[in-house]
Amino acid sequence: MSQLNPMPTLFGKRVLLGVSAGIAAYKSAHLARLLKKASCEVRVVMTEGAQAFITPLTLQALTGEAVRTSLLDPEAEAGMGHIELARWAELILVAPATADVMARLAHGHADDLLTTLCLASDADCIMAPAMNQAMWAHPATQANVATLHRLGWRLLGPDGGEQACGDVGPGRMREPEALVAELSMAPQDAPSSTAPDVAPTVRDAEALRVTITAGPTHEALDPVRYLSNHSSGKMGYALAEAWARRGAQVHLISGPVSLATPSGVERVDVTSASEMLAAAEHAAAESDIFIGCAAVADYRAEHIAEHKLKKTDAHETLTLTLVKNPDIVAEIAARSPRPLVIGFAAETQNVERYARDKLTRKGMDMIVANDVSQAGLGFGADDNAALLLWRDGDDTDSQALPPQPKTTLADAIVDRVLTLYAHRAPMAHD
């Protein structure tokens, strides 16, 4: 693990860490330590239930500050301590955020110290959800997620995987290292809803219609063989899940993958590039944003054999004639009117140069480029890193996202796309 160095956006920042009653509270100790290591001032507030999972003494030892646990602490409240604490905080981070605390914050409850502070503070508010996968998928929780986004909360996670209860699925609290990496982004990399050049709804995608392509395509050679690539679809599915959490209407066009459809996402399955193009053109006509995340095969067989191609002793080689597949992202970008168009570039060398060329040549608004030659990143992996490039008038701006879980990366990409859309929405359908 690389050493965490203090970042300008975290150095000296006053962080109020809220810990609620979930098994993931054990991660809060490591999170507090990392925040202190990043030169933050950290104070901790725990709910009553959180103290059943981790002791206040542990967090006090790690932060060097007394841990607050009660709204009705006579000693603290003699000086209106909860209001002073609310004013002190520059950033409120609730980690873990259980389904219960999310519901109470979504509906404006202030029945303990943590929820009272959240309502009484003007600080930036971020939470890291953590709960059973069924609780996360429940319509009531998803409705609360949409409400929290409207209220200005930023949600980091949850991640998918095996849970303490034995279930597998989305609901794991994001790892402390990933949370601190997100918080360390420069302001332009993580836009604030209070920034003068960002629309106030930059984190609210409820009214947006988003189409995403994901996974590989299979280009048939004969009834049993095909050309394809190593794409697993994980990045596209993480994006679909992230957009759905923000309240967008998500239309997922998926090549052949072995992934479950994210909650609240409409999925259409296709096999070939031609089928994906047809589905994409149909969906793009009704979309505000189009994201071409699929690894579409560049070529297909000129002729598909009617029967299985047989291997014979007489021929040591087999010659295939391939023809170019349609470029789906370029086709959508050339439409008029058209949605905001985002593409992906999986490269093994000269990543930025090739990405800049594709951004211009295909007429996209933004491209997400990654180096798939790096071990543990890209195709089939759970983690990825990316370089975002987008057009800003005649110039091209960029943002580098470090290696992190694809679920985390998806949220960062959504943030950037929402900012682009907020700036360019009046022109999106010209």
Closest CA to 122 of 99, 79, 152: 152
Q: Are residues 355 and 284 in the same domain?
A: yes
Q: Are residues 100 and 225 in the same domain?
A: no
User: Distance between CA atoms of 345 and 367, rounded to whole angstroms?
Assistant: 7
Structure tokens at 149: 């986004």
Residue 409 has pLDDT above 70, yes or no: yes
DSSP string, 59-106: HHHHHSSPPB--TT-HHHHTTTHHHHHHHH-SEEEEEEE-HHHHHHHH
Q: What is the pLDDT of residue 289?
A: 96
Ligand-binding annotation for 83, yes or no, is no
Q: Are residues 282 and 165 in the same domain?
A: no
Ligand-binding annotation for 157, yes or no, is no
User: Distance between CA atoms of 68 and 46, rounded to whole angstroms?
Assistant: 6
Pairing of strands 226-227, 299-301: unpaired
Ligand-binding annotation for 125, yes or no, is no
Give the tens place of pLDDT for each residue, 197-210: 333 233 457 779 99
Name the pTM for this structure.
0.56
In a domain, 342, yes or no: yes
Number of domains into which the chain is organized: 2
Name the percent of the chain lying above pLDDT 70: 88
Q: What is the pLDDT of residue 381?
A: 81
Residue 75 has pLDDT above 70, yes or no: no
> Domain range holding 105?
14-183
Q: Are residues 24 and 171 in the same domain?
A: yes
Please, are residues 111 and 78 in contact by the beta-carbon 8 Å criterion?
A: no
Q: Are residues 223 and 174 in the same domain?
A: no
Name the catalytic one among 40, 118, 125, 165. Answer: 165
Ligand-binding annotation for 40, yes or no, is no
Ligand-binding annotation for 44, yes or no, is no
Q: Are residues 159 and 251 in the same domain?
A: no
Give the tens place of pLDDT for each residue, 277-289: 999 999 999 999 9
Closest CA to 330 of 316, 341, 345: 341
Give the tens place of pLDDT for each residue, 306-321: 999 888 877 788 889 9
The SS3 call for residue 132 is coil
Ligand-binding annotation for 386, yes or no, is no
Q: What is the pLDDT of residue 139?
A: 84
Active site residue 165: yes
